């Protein structure tokens, strides 16, 4: 038997009433702690302090600086101080007589100061100094590149968090419209101007709006957690915009400047210079080494804190020359290895320039497209808003169907989502271009 109209209305009203009563009986859930709010500049500053890539780059800079100091120190003499105390047993073996003799047991003391320096080492020290300087330049370029990459990554996570927050507002507005449509459908059903199918369809659409809002909140929580990890905090972080929406940059001369100022290109070229300097270092192994050393020592039987007047002075000055004529082709292997490293680094540097050029083309196109899409989608949102208003009025007056109303609502929601995505696609693409060229646009 088909249920009457009053029975259907009573069922809908009772379901809503039961839902409200069950919600009122539930224990209140404690609200989560408020997320930390950061601006874009603050987020970038925090990320540059904690990201492992930046910490590693700073460590490489310190290591390169220490190597530079060691390369300079190789031109200075090595200094050493030594001292010893010796006490032997009273019994001695006399090899001339083959007998054991007993002599007074004395303690002897010895102290010396020595210095040594390589007078000529086949220009190895000069080559090492040049190599460490090139390595330091490569470390500086690596830090600049990593700073640009971390900045771009932080900006992307920051803009993603902002976009997800706007999408939550879009989903909330969608749910509010679905709620209004459900109320209209119920009112029309009570008045006999709509079918039971309209109320059920509107109820389903309202449930879908609730699910969309839950999913939007979940996406927002994920984006805020990712931003928190990026800046080094163990909680969700809310992105707070602190600047006006930037306009489309002038990219006329940007491509020519990018290949000269790009942090990736500068790092690759610095690595090439470091690899070439290592080839020179490997060649110095074919030269001889001339060294000089000097030592001055004193020996005595009295403790130095008692008297040193009876100490005997012993000094020596020594020059030595060494030249490896053959070492089993080890020098040749080192030379080949250095040449291979240089060739590979040069090929990688050339590929980096081509890659930056291709990425710049892609990102500039993305910037231009996203900026144009913002204007287009803005007009689409305006048109969809007006279409929804007209469709709601037609449905309220009975001149339109619920399907038309739901379609108009879906079109508006999608247009608003596209508007949010277009705005932040533009900002993310702009951040990627800044990372490629190495400076703000």
CATH number for the domain harbouring residue 241: 1.20.1600.10
Asked, for residue 248, whether it belongs to a domain, the answer is yes
Closest C-alpha among 155, 164, 141 to residue 271: 141
**Tens-place pLDDT, residues 249-280:** 777 777 777 777 788 888 888 889 888 888 88
Task: Identify the domain containing residue 397 by its residue range.
Answer: 33-76+121-288+326-437
pLDDT at res. 5: 45
Q: Are residues 95 and 244 in the same domain?
A: no
User: Higher-confidence residue: 144 or 14?
Assistant: 144
- pLDDT tops 60 at residue 3: no
Asked, for residue 390, whether it belongs to a domain, the answer is yes
Closest C-alpha among 170, 166, 163, 211 to residue 414: 170
**Tens-place pLDDT, residues 219-254:** 999 999 999 999 988 888 888 887 678 887 777 777
> What is the number of domains present in the chain?
2
Using DSSP, state whether 401 is helix, strand or coil.
coil
Angle CA 139–349–259, to nearest 5: 90
Q: Are residues 360 and 342 in the same domain?
A: yes
Closest C-alpha among 151, 194, 185, 118 to residue 51: 151
pLDDT at res. 104: 61
| The two structure tokens encoding residue 239 | 């992105």
Instruction: Indicate the pLDDT class of residue 92, thresholds 50, 70 and 90.
Output: low
- CA atoms of 4 and 216, how far apart (whole Å): 39
Using DSSP, state whether 74 is helix, strand or coil.
coil
Asked, for residue 240, whether it belongs to a domain, the answer is yes
Asked, for residue 3, whether it belongs to a domain, the answer is no
Asked, for residue 93, whether it belongs to a domain, the answer is yes
Instruction: Indicate the pLDDT class of residue 303, thresholds 50, 70 and 90.
Output: confident
**Tens-place pLDDT, residues 122-137:** 888 888 888 888 888 8
- CA atoms of 56 and 47, how far apart (whole Å): 13
Per residue, the 3-state secondary structure of 283-323, as one string, reads HHHHCCEEEEEEEEEEEECCCCCCCCCCCEEEEEEEEEEEC
Task: Name the one residue in this structure whose structure tokens are 């080559």.
Answer: 127
Contact between 163 and 420 under an 8 Å Cβ cutoff? The reply is yes
Q: Are residues 202 and 308 in the same domain?
A: no
Asked, for residue 271, whether it belongs to a domain, the answer is yes
pLDDT at res. 344: 94
Asked, for residue 163, whether it belongs to a domain, the answer is yes
Select from 304, 322, 340 the last residue of a domain: 322
Q: Are residues 191 and 49 in the same domain?
A: yes
Q: Are residues 96 and 217 in the same domain?
A: no
Q: Are residues 368 and 304 in the same domain?
A: no
pLDDT at res. 211: 92
Q: Are residues 425 and 279 in the same domain?
A: yes
Q: Are residues 282 and 405 in the same domain?
A: yes
């Amino acid at each position: 038997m088909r249920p009457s109209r009053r029975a259907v209305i009573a069922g809908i009203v009772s379901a809503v009433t039961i839902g409200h009563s069950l919600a009122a009986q539930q224990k209140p859930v404690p609200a989560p702690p408020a997320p930390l709010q950061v601006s874009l500049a603050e987020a970038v500053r925090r990320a540059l302090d904690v990201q492992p890539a930046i910490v590693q780059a700073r460590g490489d800079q310190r290591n390169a600086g220490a190597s530079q100091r060691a390369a300079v120190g190789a031109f200075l003499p090595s200094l050493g101080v030594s001292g010893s105390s010796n006490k032997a047993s009273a019994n001695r073996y006399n090899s001339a007589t083959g007998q054991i003799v007993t002599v007074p047991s004395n303690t002897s003391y010895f102290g010396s100061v020595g210095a040594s320096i390589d007078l000529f080492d086949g220009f190895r020290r000069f080559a090492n100094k040049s190599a460490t300087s090139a390595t330091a330049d490569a470390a500086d370029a690596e830090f600049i590149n990593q700073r640009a990459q971390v900045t771009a990554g932080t900006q992307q996570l920051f803009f993603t968090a902002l976009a997800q927050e706007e999408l939550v507002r879009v989903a909330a507005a969608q749910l509010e419209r679905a709620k209004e449509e459900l109320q209209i459908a119920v009112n029309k059903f009570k008045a006999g101007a709509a079918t039971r199918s309209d109320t059920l369809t509107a109820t389903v659409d309202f449930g879908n709006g609730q699910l969309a809002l839950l999913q939007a909140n979940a996406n927002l929580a994920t984006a805020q957690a990712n931003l928190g990890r990026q800046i080094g905090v163990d909680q969700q972080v809310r992105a707070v915009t602190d600047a006006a929406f930037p306009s489309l940059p002038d990219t006329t001369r940007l491509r020519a400047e990018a290949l000269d100022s790009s942090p990736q290109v500068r790092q690759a070229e610095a690595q090439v210079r470091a690899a070439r300097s290592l080839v020179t270092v490997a060649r110095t192994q074919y030269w001889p080494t001339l060294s000089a050393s000097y030592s001055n020592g004193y020996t005595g039987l009295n403790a130095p804190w008692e008297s040193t007047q009876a100490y005997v002075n012993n000094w020596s000055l020594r020059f030595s020359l060494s030249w490896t004529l053959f070492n089993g082709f080890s020098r040749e292997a080192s030379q080949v290895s250095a040449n291979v490293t240089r060739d590979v680094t040069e090929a990688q540097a050339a590929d980096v320039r081509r890659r930056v050029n291709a990425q710049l083309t892609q990102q500039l196109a993305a910037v231009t497209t996203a900026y144009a899409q913002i204007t287009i989608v803005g007009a689409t949102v305006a048109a969809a808003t007006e279409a929804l208003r007209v469709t709601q009025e037609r449905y309220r007056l009975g001149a339109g169907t619920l399907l038309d109303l739901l379609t108009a609502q879906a079109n508006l929601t999608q247009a608003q989502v596209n508007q949010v995505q277009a705005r932040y696609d533009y900002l993310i693409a702009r951040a990627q271009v800044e990372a490629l060229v190495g400076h703000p646009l």
